Amino acid sequence: MLGALATLTITVRRFPWVAPCIAVTPDDEWLEPCIGLVSELGDRLAVVHARGRAPRVPASAIVEAVRRRPPPRAAAMADYVACRLAHPELLAPLSRQFEQALEGVPATTSASIATYSRLFARYGRFSARHWRALARLDRTLASRAPDRRDVLSRWLVRDRTAVRYTRRLLDLSWSAATRRIGWEWVLERALRIGGYVAPAP
């Protein structure tokens, strides 16, 4: 189990957009509380409870485990972007934008709109409004419950702004976006479409 966690951590460093998942056998269940202590995996890690020592885990169990993860926190999303771009100074301003989008905490208590605009313009084309829209899309697409996903999907189809941002930031239709799982891919795709990181070969 510890060896698998180490391998998974290395994999996530190399491919940060994957949704990390690990199978826990009955022999390893006592280690499960320690999994969250692996800082690079944190609350991103999906856990599948498997049977036997060398279980074959069906893809459906992995998908369900990823969908069961808690919705992404503002801090986790900001950390993903700041680490991916190798600009730790973006962590705090992105956290504030994401907190405003997801929790209603005004970002302007820390800096003015103009200050945020100048800051984000130094790194690329996404404005504070784009980052907030991306946070809302990411949280919505990562919705765990299928019935809630359907409700949100119907709501967003009626909301032209959300559909437009899905197309603009992810270059996908809403229908195509909702067929994917996880939340990491949303940020990664937006960074690639936005020109912040090179597209996949």
pLDDT in tens, 94-114: 999 999 999 988 888 888 988
Which of 48, 68, 88 is the last residue before a domain boundary?
Answer: 68
Query: How far from 131 is each of 9, 99, 146, CA to CA, in Å?
Result: 27, 11, 26
Domain shared by 51 and 142, yes or no: no
Domain shared by 63 and 81, yes or no: no
Domain shared by 45 and 81, yes or no: no
Domain shared by 63 and 90, yes or no: no
Q: What is the pLDDT of residues 50-109, one digit of tens each?
A: 776 656 788 899 899 999 898 899 999 999 999 999 999 999 999 999 999 999 888 888
The answer to whether residue 198 sits within a structural domain is no
The answer to whether residue 201 sits within a structural domain is no
Structural domain range at position 44: 2-68
Please tell me the total count of domains within the chain.
2
The answer to whether residue 78 sits within a structural domain is yes
Domain shared by 29 and 95, yes or no: no
Domain shared by 124 and 39, yes or no: no
* The model's pTM: 0.84
